[in-house]
Structure 1
Amino acid sequence: MKKILSLLLCLTVLTLFSGCANDKETTSNNTENTNELKIVTSFYPIYIETINITKGIDGVVVENMTKPQTGCLHDYQMTPADMKKLENANIFIANGAGMESFLEDIINNQKQLHVIDSSANIPLLIDEHGENPHVWVSISNCITQVETITEELSKIDPNHADQYHKNAEDYIARLKDLQNEMHAAIDPLPNKKIVTFHEAFPYFAEEFNLDIVGVIEREPGTAPTPTELTDIISQVKNLPTKALFAEPQYSSTAAEAIANETGAKIYTLDPVVTGKDDPDAYIKAMQENAKTLQEALK
């Protein structure tokens, strides 16, 4: 127990100095042209979905509200710059499912703004901490979000409805190819038990029949309690394949401490909450996730 408490103290101190996410860049294609339809997205995965739907459509501008290093919006507080973006926007597209705790305030205070909840048609997973908002990490849910955004944009902007639907059909076809490719890679793996960094992967695990037996940090930046740390170490020691999955946006300090106690190897799974201004970013990250799982669980 002294060793566990010592590990916990180190993790807590180091967490105070760790950032929430990395500094990858997402650029904006915003403009001051008042004739344009201005769409603001809440954070990175919704931005990627939306730029695929609006690709090549003249007069439609998409800007991401939050800074590129923000990551998940668990406890995000809106800034004056965010409010200015929304005041100049026509449409705000959110993940929903509780990810944006400020969403109700936006709906109440920005009466001119059309708000799209992209998770509206997705059954949510619920645990002891409530509804899990990380729906996009499942490819099936990502497809549903693309469909929902497309339908809502078409209602708001019917002049571009055909283009929205054509772009969405093209992107969904690629997502379905990705889905088949990942099932082919993951389904045959002999070991399906994994320990993840935080609660970003339950929808992913459900889709690919993985069993999450432990979570290192329930909330990013919050070190595990002594009891949680003891339990995770015990779970990892009992795994047939000792692998821990960190995330590229967050410090791997906690995972490293557990690895030192168990001999487990650390791998990286990307929930795609940060990245470059690249329409293919989600597909590329998921392909890397499949390769990582193949290496770790073979």
Structure 2
Amino acid sequence: MKKLLLVVLSLMTMMVFTACGSEKTSTSQEDKANSEDKIKIVTSFYPIYIETLNVTKGIDGVVVENMTKPQTGCLHDYQMTPADMKKLENADVFIANGAGMESFLQDVIDNQKNLKVVEAAKGIELLADEHGENPHVWVSVSNCMTQVQTIADELSKLDPEHADAYQKNAKEYIAKLEDLKQDMHNQIDNLPHKDIVTFHEAFPYFAKEFNLNIVGVIEREPGTAPTPSELDEIIAQVNDLQAKALFAEPQYSSTAAKTIANETGAKVYTLDPVVTGENDLDAYIEAMKQNALTLQEALK
């Protein structure tokens, strides 16, 4: 009887563990199926990531991942890594700025035939100078709104099941951006001085929107120090300013700006093109609010 009882208990224990194992396998398979049902969106860099997060906010089954590291900044001459390519291979949609910001974009389009590529700057009139078209369109609040709507429209076509949610989110975020733009105009429009010297070519769209005049640029490309003749030219431009202010960017070294400041007596301030930041839906808005406060202080 004892032996029989032990056999029965052993069989019951095996059944319990087998059932638990089956449940775990079933759950794992269900998780995998659920993962495969998700729409995977990859964004090229930080400002596009923040715009896309706002458009997809709270929508089940939509996953957004940024391709580049948070500290990457602008994608000038960026070289894609194997990790980047793997992210794109597993994505359904790649949302880029376009307008020449991502030099690798055409290679992605050519090599990832099943990947839907969205260029958020599509339809925005580009500013150009002797160096070519300027891709930093998002630094204008108005252009940022256009990009948000473009992202919402393209995702609505790709995923019509959630079209209403994309459009609702876009409408809510654009309303916040409209309020931001109006507040910034109230702070900037009546400043007595409008001439500025910026760090690099990130601010022409911003300057156009808020009627500022960029009279000089310290570095045409980040990391490319001005030549001695360029430095002399910038020093002369700063000496002519009524409000002696230089604007560095938080993402890059301010060494050149400090050198110019030492020669001219100008003060160095910081303007943020919002190419790095926290994983926060309001990060762009908060950075732009700070930019307006900085300009108020510098150009008073």
How does the TM-score come out when normalised to structure 2? 0.89
The runs of at least 4 aligned residues of structure 1 exceeding 4 Å deviation read: none
- 1:116-265 to structure 2, matched below 5 A, reads 116-265=118-267
Q: CA deviation at 1:157?
A: 0.6
Tell me by how many angstroms 1:33 deviates: 1.5
Deviation of 1:227 after TM superposition, in Å, equals 1.3
Counterpart of 1:224 in structure 2: which amino acid?
A: P
Whose RCO is larger (CA < 8 A, sep 6+)? 1
Kindly state the Cα deviation for residue 35 of structure 1 after the two structures are TM-superposed.
1.3
- For residues 76 and 90 of structure 2, the distance between their equivalents in structure 1, rounded to whole angstroms, comes to 25
Q: Secondary structure at the match of 1:33?
A: helix
Aligned to 1:57: 59
The residue identity in structure 2 corresponding to 1:110 is Q
1:263-290 per-residue CA deviation (whole Å, 9 max, x = no partner) reads: 0000000000000000000000000000
Calculate the TM-score normalised by the size of structure 1: 0.89
1:34 Cα deviation (Å)? 1.5
Whole-angstrom distance in 1 between the partners of 2:293 and 2:209: 16
Q: Structure 1 residue 103 and structure 2 residue 84: aligned? A: no
Helix, strand or coil: the match of 1:46? helix
Q: Deviations over 1:210-266 (max 9, x none)?
A: 000000000000000111100000000010010000000000000000000000000
SS in 2 for 1:267: strand
Q: Secondary structure at the match of 1:116?
A: strand
**Bigger fraction of residues in helix:** 2
Query: Number of residue pairs matched?
Result: 268
Q: d(CA) in 1 for partners of 2:271 and 2:183? A: 17
What does the per-residue CA deviation read over 1:12-70, in whole Å, with 9 as the maximum and x for residues that have no partner? xxxxxxxxxxxxxxxxxxxx922100000000000000000000000000000001110
Q: Give the superposition deviation at 1:121.
A: 1.1
**Residue in 1 aligned with 2:16?**
none
- For 1:34 and 1:194, how far apart are their aligned partners in 2? 51
Question: Which residue identity lines up with residue 172 of structure 1 in the other structure?
Answer: I
Distance in 1 (CA, whole Å) between partners of 2:263 and 2:241 is 14
Report the counterpart of residue 25 of structure 1 in structure 2. Answer: none
Within the alignment, does 1:66 sit opposite 2:33 as a pair? no
Paired with 1:236 and 1:108, the residues of 2 have a C-alpha distance of: 46
RMSD between aligned alpha carbons?
A: 1.0
Match of 1:291 in 2: 293
The structure with more radius of gyration: 2
For 1:53 and 1:153, the matched residues in 2 are separated by 9
- Give unpaired runs (5+ residues) of structure 1: 1-31
Alignment correspondent of 1:43:
45
CA distance in 2, matches of 1:161, 1:77: 34
